Amino acid sequence: MKVSLVIMAAGLGSRYGGSKQVDGIGPNNEILMEYSIYDALRAGFNKIVFIIKPEMEELLHRICGNYLAKKTAADGSPVEVAYVFQDFSSVPEFYHIPEGRTKPFGTVHALLCAESAVHEPFCVINADDYYGIDAYRTIYKELVTLPETGRGTMVGYLLKNTASLHGTVSRGVCTVADGKLLSVREALKVQLYPDGSLKDLAEDVSLDPDTVVSMNFWGFMPSIFPELRAYFEQFLRTEAGENLKAECLLPVMVGGQLNKNQMEVSVLHSADRWFGMTYREDREIVAQELRRLHAGGDYPATLKG
């Protein structure tokens, strides 16, 4: 059975101060998405789809695409690798791109760009996050049993383990009951403080550290694409306007589907801890975690072996 890992890697990484997606941070200069790929392949995934900017293709081939094309998946089949581009050519003709806009239109737009390459159950992730070994095993088991329509899944993480002391982050704050996602709202400016408290500065409200949040670790069937397209086109018609930074976000889209009872989403939990790089100051913390995981035997000396 074909199951895809779709990696959103076209973000500009403006807050990080560089292209964090290709920052070699592991002990042997591994980038974070190499850990995601390694974990996904050993969990059972056998296809990797990169969503990138067109100018990144040669670099991605060199960093990990070329060796991936020679690898064998857990089921013995060759690993399939595909590249799709997130750029303005995929934006509907009715919408005029505002002058001066360079930023892509967010995660719904990113995933839509992969529609032509994804025809099987898939997990979609951020390129610059580390989700943990167990998370891929957990979501793979769920994906291979998902019905064709009306269902999705996600791996949830605790808010206190996903925020940064070095600045605000955006998180999909979830309401969960009996293993099902009831609602999700985007908290756009979550700040972690040294005492462990958290606050959404955009809404001026305190947040429970044990709140479940989405880290863009979603699982869907290909039947999600028409809904994504309809939602994105509605966003362009009613919300984007001349805003140079307007983004169409997956958690918000899923929340809308839930509100209309058009989707059911199971919430999975991982035994592992998420970590990622939003700000340059986060880099050394992530590097230390990766060194610890290699030293503990969670990963071999090199991921390219």
Whole-number mean pLDDT of the chain? Answer: 89
More confident call, 13 vs 260? 260
CA distance linking residue 178 with residue 154, whole number of Å: 14
More confident call, 136 vs 127? 136
Show the 3-state SS of the chain: CCCEEEEECCCCCCCCCCCHHHCCCCCCCCCHHHHHHHHHHHHCCCEEEEEECHHHHHHHHHHHHHHHCCCECCCCCECEEEEEECCHHHCCCCCCCCCCCCCCCCHHHHHHCCHHHCCCCEEEEECCEECCHHHHHHHHHHHCCCCCCCEEEEEEEEHHHCCCCCCCEEEEEEEEECCEEEEEEEEEEEEECCCCCEEECCCCEEECCCCEEEEEEEEECCCHHHHHHHHHHHHHHHHHCCCCCCCCCHHHHHHHHHHCCCCEEEEEECCCCCEECCCHHHHHHHHHHHHHHHHCCCCCCCCCC
CA distance linking residue 228 with residue 216, whole number of Å: 15
Say what the pTM is: 0.90
Rounded to an integer, the average pLDDT of 111-116 is 96
Q: Phi first, then psi: what are they for 76, rounded to 5°?
A: 90, -5
More confident call, 232 vs 187? 232
What digits encode the pLDDT tens for the residues 41-86?
999 999 999 999 888 888 888 887 788 888 888 899 999 999 999 9
What pLDDT band is residue 218 in, cutting at 50, 70 and 90?
A: very high
> What tokens appear for 196 in the block?
């462990």
Rounded to an integer, the average pLDDT of 103-119 is 94
CB contact set of 160 (below 8 Å; sequence gap of 6+): 192, 196, 198, 209, 210
Interior angle at CA 302, CA 70 and CA 7, nearest 5? 60
Fold of 4-153+215-295: Spore Coat Polysaccharide Biosynthesis Protein SpsA; Chain A (3.90.550)
CA distance linking residue 199 with residue 191, whole number of Å: 5
pLDDT above 60: residue 16:
no
What pLDDT band is residue 14 in, cutting at 50, 70 and 90?
A: very low
Q: Give the pLDDT of residue 11.
A: 66
Rounded to an integer, the average pLDDT of 179-204 is 92
What pLDDT band is residue 23 in, cutting at 50, 70 and 90?
A: low
pLDDT above 70: residue 201:
yes
CA distance linking residue 67 with residue 305, whole number of Å: 9
pLDDT above 70: residue 19:
no
pLDDT above 50: residue 17:
no
Q: Give the residues across from 270 on adjacent strands.
A: none
Q: Give the pLDDT of residue 305.
A: 64
Query: What proportion of the chain, given as a percentage, has pLDDT over 70?
Result: 95
Q: Give the pLDDT of residue 13.
A: 46
Sequence length of the chain is: 305
